[in-house]
Structure 1
């Protein structure tokens, strides 16, 4: 019996090493990225209260009931906000157009919402998409991609790819080629965003002019230090995922493979572990206290080393994806002004070097 147990252990270890062949990326943790000066504004206390409400909304619930409560609470985030844009449902691809007054519909943004690939919707992220349309004068398409667990992870990935391909030639009014294209997303949607721009490059499509991500998940192997070091300082992800720090990483990898049907070492699920050459100008915003901080840092470091123009801007003491609390949070307003400046620089560079556009 002992020999059988030992043989099983050896087999599991060998299979783990073979299937999850991970490059050690700890050398990317050496870069010292600056953090903006200042402390969280007074409005941050109200934001933290809303985060606690989110946790209370599913307290005591389990399984599907817990997930449904989370989805409902997220969809209610946009209630009561004064939004300037028109919201227009689209059935194929499924999502909604967000059109601010005076925008140019040849300017387009594909927005991919977060929610751990299992929650969130175009409605939950209207504060973000409305503001993006206003500051960029672009028509934003908020994609309603298929969520887990009802669907497979790769179904959502395919929805992102199909939506981008469609947006290149379709606006909110009629078929029309895009003049300026941006892909943006937060958290899990940030992961889809970064995976998508690599897929665009590899498949010879017209590349996005720019990409924007808020607190993106870049590596499902959970090997970055902040995944554990920032559990206590992350009021959103800490309570939800901090318990994973007590589970051995190989167990998490096998569980992720079972749930996602994709290896956590795959670039589709972990964009950090893919080829980061020849990517478009990309802006990443993150908080220095969130669990995904080093996901952002590692991605920026590796992409920059590969020659891709990736910029990371870090705010002090913000909650995960604080941009969704615009206009309540001054730091969210700052983040959108940062985006506006970034895109203005991208477009200015494009006008100076038109031969670089495809």
Structure 2
């Protein structure tokens, strides 16, 4: 596939989607033990992702990247399967509605509907972790906000890889790393945000969770690369968690690019996936009840 061309305000949606497809094609091969099963859960579609390590009692609700205008469960299979393998979990990769055909907050509503469906089908909230990459990483936090505000049982945790969580593009790293980021550009992000938001304000907390209050959120883990434009989005999500007293770990990997976990030959990718997998396993481990002492 040819390399992306420069993005302008008039760049059509087909070309924008081609550019995101170019990025996801760099994710490498899908793990050989990956099994993918398309499914509908009530009003939402997606696919189950399983590997040889997957447990049916541990679930990742995954949101793919693509700037809210592109991507699918299929384009991110390699990354999702690697995370599912490291987590010893089954994943449900959501096929949420994309802009500009379906603008904000359609994706957030789809995420909330998917979570409701999983709970209704008997999956305990304590066995579910929300996860995502890129815009899907930001969406995971937006859906978490919607879950809390709907007073649903909270999931066990939330993790994100290179999250896009500020559609105002106000992070210092957006400028600082503009010439170092090999995946994204300010123009691509800005045009994607406008297609997604339409007339909604970019600082709406459901669009940009860096502006949300994380009160009552479960533990959080966020990983990003030091060279990417969205590095500060990761750090600011950590700030919101810390302000709310939520257990949080933000890890910025030196010399790494956007969604570096997809490149399995990179040592840092293996370390990051191991850490994320450990987070999922620990958060969803069955709780052992202590038996009451026998009466005398």
TM bin, normalised by shorter chain, reads: 0.7 to 0.9
Give 1:57 deviation, angstroms. 5.0
C-alpha separation between the residues in 1 aligned to 2:279 and 2:182? 28
2:219 corresponds, among 277, 281, 286, to: 281
2:13 corresponds, among 64, 88, 91, to: 64
Matched, 1:319 2:257: yes
1:84 corresponds, among 23, 33, 43, to: 33
Structure 2, unaligned stretches of length 5 or more? 291-296
Give 1:113 deviation, angstroms. 0.6
- 1:38-74: CA deviation from partner (whole Å, max 9, x where unpaired): xxxxxxxxxxxxxxx67x1557994133134235545
Matched, 1:151 2:102: yes
Aligned residues, how many?
A: 284
When Rg is computed on C-alpha atoms for both structures, the one with the higher figure is: 1
- 1:118-154: CA deviation from partner (whole Å, max 9, x where unpaired): 1111111111211122222221011111111122121
What are the within-5 Å matches in structure 2 for residues 1-358 of structure 1? 56=3, 62-70=11-19, 72-73=21-22, 76-77=25-26, 80-92=29-41, 93-170=44-121, 176-178=122-124, 180-238=127-185, 241=188, 256=194, 259-325=197-263, 327-347=264-284, 351=287
- 1:21-47: CA deviation from partner (whole Å, max 9, x where unpaired): xxxxxxxxxxxxxxxxxxxxxxxxxxx
Q: Go from structure 1 to structure 2 and tell me whether the alpha carbon gap of 1:352 and 1:279 turns closer, same or farther (over 3 Å shift).
A: farther
Q: Could you tell me the TM-score, scaled by structure 1's length?
A: 0.72
Q: Go from structure 1 to structure 2 and tell me whether the alpha carbon gap of 1:319 and 1:257 turns closer, same or farther (over 3 Å shift).
A: closer
Aligned to 1:44: none
Q: Go from structure 1 to structure 2 and tell me whether the alpha carbon gap of 1:102 and 1:311 turns closer, same or farther (over 3 Å shift).
A: closer
Give 1:157 deviation, angstroms. 1.4
C-alpha separation between the residues in 2 aligned to 1:120 and 1:303? 28
Structure 1, unaligned stretches of length 5 or more? 1-52, 171-175, 245-251
C-alpha separation between the residues in 1 aligned to 2:142 and 2:185? 25
C-alpha separation between the residues in 1 aligned to 2:258 and 2:219? 23
- Check conservation: 2:54, 2:89, Cα contact below 8 A: yes
C-alpha separation between the residues in 2 aligned to 1:262 and 1:239? 19
User: Over aligned residues, Cα RMSD in angstroms?
Assistant: 2.8
